[in-house]
Structures are given as structure tokens and as C-alpha cells.
């Protein structure tokens, strides 16, 4: 149930309407039924694969944001040195 709430909130955030949330919930229901009736090992394999695939956009975001992090880190430490002097 928590994944349903999490996913519906993400749909509302991304698409800005509760209509998208309703579509998500309608698509979520058959997936829950399939997951509850399929072989347990297959359900775990699918879950592990999809959770692993979530790393791809996160790693891309980390790579794209790394110059910003380096810049802000340098600014922070240069300000710290100025404050100590």
C-alpha cells in the first residue's frame, strides 16, 4: 500500500493533476494481483530488477550534478578559511 501512495503522489507531482494519480492507481491494481498470484521467485526477480534499474537515472543525475557539488564545496571551504583568519 505504501508503494501505491508513493507512486500516486509522484504522479501528482510530475503531471500536476489527480487524474494522473487515478490512472496510476488503476494500473497499479492489476499489477498487485499479478504479483500476489505469480511464483514467489519470479516476483522477487522482477522486483530486484526494477529496483536495480532505478539506479540508472540516479547515477545520471549524480554525474550531471557533480560540477555543481564541486563548485559549492570549494566555495564553502574558501569561506571557512576566510572566517578563521
User: Would you state the cell numbers that stand for residue 53, as one nine-digit string?
Assistant: 534499474
Grid look-up 555543481 returns 68
SS3 content of the chain, % helix, strand, coil (to 5): 90, 0, 10
- Helix axis angle, 55-84 to 40-53, nearest 10°: 40
Chain segment 8-63, per-residue pLDDT in tens: 998 899 898 888 888 899 999 999 999 899 999 999 999 899 999 999 999 999 99
Chain segment 65-81, per-residue pLDDT in tens: 999 999 999 999 998 88
What's the pTM value of the predicted model, to 2 decimals? 0.56
- Confidence check: pLDDT of 82 > 90: no
Q: What are the DSSP E strand ranges found in the chain?
A: none
Q: What is the DSSP letter of 38?
A: S
Amino acid at each position: 500500500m505504501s508503494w501505491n501512495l508513493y507512486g500516486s503522489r509522484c504522479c501528482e507531482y510530475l503531471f500536476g493533476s489527480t487524474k494522473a494519480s487515478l490512472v496510476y492507481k488503476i494500473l497499479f491494481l492489476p499489477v498487485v494481483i499479478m504479483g500476489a498470484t505469480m511464483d514467489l521467485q519470479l516476483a522477487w526477480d522482477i522486483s530486484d530488477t526494477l529496483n536495480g534499474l532505478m539506479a540508472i537515472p540516479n547515477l545520471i543525475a549524480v554525474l550531471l550534478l557533480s560540477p555543481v557539488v564541486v563548485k559549492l564545496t570549494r566555495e564553502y571551504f574558501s569561506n571557512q578559511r576566510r572566517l578563521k583568519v
